[in-house]
Structure 1
Amino acid sequence: MLRVLTLSSLFPDETRPNFGVFVERQTLGLAALPDTEVRVVVPIGLPPFPLSRSPHYAALSRLPVREIWKGLAMRRPRFLNLPATGGRFHPAMLERALVPVLTAIRRDFTFNVIDASFFFPDGVAAVALGRRFDVPVSIKARGADIHHWGHAPATAAGVLAAGRAADGLLAVSSAMRDDMIAIGMSADRIRVHHTGVDQTRFAPDDQARQRIGISGPLVVSVGALIPRKGHDLVIEAVARIPDVSLQIAGEGPGRARLQAQIDGLGVSDRVRLLGSVAHHELPSLLAAADVMALASASEGLANAWVESLASGTPVVIPDAGGAREVVDRAEAGRIVERSVDGIAAGILEMLAAAPNRQAVRAAARRFTWERNALTLRQHLASLVG
């Protein structure tokens, strides 16, 4: 029996239903496999008083410490998140908080491997916890955990040390594996572990455009409203293309800035910020679009890319992360220069090409949650063996 302790600070809760849905789906897939038991620990970092009284952190502090989440036995312990320290103390604070939690879990669930689904601070703390409880540790790299924390002065050394000490490593794309090797991690210990997509929910849908009330060409973008996602570039690109609408699904601190850009360009009649869109509502939005454009400066392998392709909608994206692993044929879309001109040209090209939606969907067929779960189980079992 494989008994997995999944450790991930990236996981949905009732206040953030879209937060880390891909980790949730991966964990549900693993737990559904035969001869596999899973317990989940989702640490929540809270700053000291009075910052902890802010609406965001107050909502997180009210989450239950223990619950059954979609059939998963889960604990949500709190750890001290010290602001203005560049993350320097996050792993130590997390480890300190998790020792008693894992000790309690181990009384009735003798986990034989720790699966850390994000590199920082989860993976760094997991290595120390693995030594303490004498179990192997796997860490998965997804994107910002390497691109940011793996290079930030306060945390880079800790990320590298954890990568060298872990018993096994996973990378969400071949490009991410290369990035891990570039900072000093061992190539022969990193396995590529692609994400999955629900091929039933994300599928071409001839009625989607009618349901959301779209008649003309539609571009969709999906991602947090933060500078790294490049929504400002997509907005300006669409503003240059007459009669094309843009809908952006996502929330974040950049909303006011992006709305001001939309108003300043005079395109508020055809460019909309939708705010946070529930994950179960994304299939209709993606299936209704003619193009999904996301101008990220960095990615591991964005779930929005493969969800769009599974919906029959081609993507226009920069050459970031695993872009070339996803756009592997002309029907899947275009990889473009990360500039307004590049994005506009890519959108125009895909609107003109209008590839068959089933041909687009074929590019996503290899990304399944079933394959994701089986690959993960095989990897974790090899560490235990």
Structure 2
Amino acid sequence: MLRILTLSTLFPDATRPNFGVFVERQTLGLAAHPDVSLVAVAPVGLPPRPLRRIGHYARLGTLPTREIWKGVDVHRPRFTALPFTKGRYHAAALERALVPVLDAIRADFAFDVIDASFFFPDGPAAVALGKRYHVPVSIKARGSDIHHWGEAPATAAQVRDAGQGAAGLLAVSKAMKADMVTLGMPADRITVHHTGVDQDRFRPAADRTAAKAKLGVPGPLVIAIGGLLPRKGHNIVVEAVAALPGVTLLIAGHGPARAHLEALIARLGVGDRIRLLGALPHADLPELIAAADVSALASSSEGLANVWVESLACGTPIVITDAGGAHEVVRSPDAGRVTIGDPLAFAAAIGALLADPPTQAATRAVAAPFTWEANTAALYEHLTRLVADQR
């Protein structure tokens, strides 16, 4: 029985059900493995105490410090995330907070390996804790944890040092692995570990026209799913669809760029066919994606976006930028198009797919390798190897 301690600051809770759902799904798959015993630690970063009573921090403060979450034993210790320090002290604060928690866990659960499912601040803290408990550490890189924290002056050295100190590393795409190597991490310790998709839930609509009608969309439908952040490039997709008469765009997500997007939609005079849906529960996404003719995301950086493979599993082709593992997903015209982050280029790619769409079956077939079963099997093999090598 492999005893795993999974550590992730990116993990859902009662106040944030969509937060880190893919880390959750990976963890649930691993916990269900017949040869695994798993405890999860999902630390909650909070500002110093006077600020903890404000806004969403107050809600986070009400979370239990330990609970059974979807059948998994999850600990939720707090650590102090000092504001205005650009993350410089996050990993050290996390390590200090985790020592008494992991000491107590280890008294009853002698974990063999620490599985850190997000690179920062989890990775540096995990490496230090691995030394304390004499167990190997694996760290997974997903996207912004490398592209932001791994390049920011205040945290870049911590990310690099954690990558060099871990027994093994995981990358969501080959492109992410290359970025990690560029930062100075050892290539021979990095394994590409693709995400999975629930192909029973994410599947083509039996009648796409009827599915669009339920959404109040009479003609071609494009969707864009992702946080309303500048790096997601939703403004590019808005301008692209604005140039395609009769095409509707629905954007699902929330974030600080909402006001800018609302102003752009108003300025372009397309409020009748471009709508911001806000954040949607992950459970509602299959129906939305399956209704769409095209799924578009103009990100400036990605690892391997989960919505790419979810869209393909729904039989919906994608139009994306050449970011992260784009070419690991768009391997044929049936998957969609990879283009530059420019409104005219996106409009041309979307228009081409609307004019000559691949079959839903052909698009779905591209997503066939991306299963949670494959994800779990590869992760179990990776962690087992690290433990064996340590012994």
Q: Same fold (TM over 0.5)?
A: yes
The alignment partner of 2:338 has SS state of: strand
Q: Deviations over 1:314-353 (max 9, x none)?
A: 0000000000000000010000011111111111111111
Q: Residues of 1 paired with 2:8 and 2:117: CA distance?
A: 5
**Matched AA of 2:248:** S
User: Which segments of structure 1 move beyond 4 Å, counting only runs of 4 or more?
Assistant: none
Partner residue, 1:156: 156
The alignment partner of 1:201 has SS state of: coil
CA drift at 1:212: 2.4
The alignment partner of 2:121 has SS state of: helix
Partner residue, 2:334: 331
The alignment partner of 2:14 has SS state of: coil
- Please tell me whether residue 340 in structure 1 is matched to residue 333 in structure 2: no
Q: Deviations over 1:17-62 (max 9, x none)?
A: 1111000000011111111011100011101143322211111111
- Please tell me whether residue 5 in structure 1 is matched to residue 43 in structure 2: no
**Structure 2 counterparts to residues 192-207 of structure 1, below 5 A:** 192-207=192-207
Partner residue, 1:317: 320
- Please tell me whether residue 234 in structure 1 is matched to residue 237 in structure 2: yes
Q: Residues of 2 paired with 1:211 and 1:135: CA distance?
A: 53
**TM-score, normalisation: structure 2:** 0.97
Q: Deviations over 1:42-101 (max 9, x none)?
A: 011101143322211111111111110000100111000001111110000000000000
Partner residue, 2:107: 107
Q: How many residues align?
A: 385
**Matched AA of 2:195:** T
**TM-score, normalisation: structure 1:** 0.99
The alignment partner of 1:330 has SS state of: coil
**Structure 2 counterparts to residues 19-58 of structure 1, below 5 A:** 19-58=19-58
**Matched AA of 1:7:** L
Q: Which runs of 5+ in 1 are unaligned?
A: none
Q: Residues of 1 paired with 2:244 and 2:215: CA distance?
A: 21
**Matched AA of 1:173:** S
- Please tell me whether residue 350 in structure 1 is matched to residue 348 in structure 2: no
Q: Deviations over 1:143-188 (max 9, x none)?
A: 0111111111011111000000100000000000000011111111
Q: Residues of 2 paired with 1:147 and 1:89: CA distance?
A: 19
Partner residue, 2:96: 96
**Matched AA of 1:305:** W
Conserved? CA contact 2:304–2:326, under 8 Å: yes
CA RMSD, 1 decimal: 0.8
Q: Residues of 1 paired with 2:245 and 2:216: CA distance?
A: 19
Match of residue 378, structure 1, among 354, 377, 381: 381
Q: Which runs of 5+ in 2 are unaligned?
A: none
CA drift at 1:215: 2.1
Conserved? CA contact 2:311–2:317, under 8 Å: yes
**Matched AA of 1:199:** Q
Q: Residues of 2 paired with 1:73 and 1:97: CA distance?
A: 18
Q: Residues of 2 paired with 1:310 and 1:211: CA distance?
A: 21
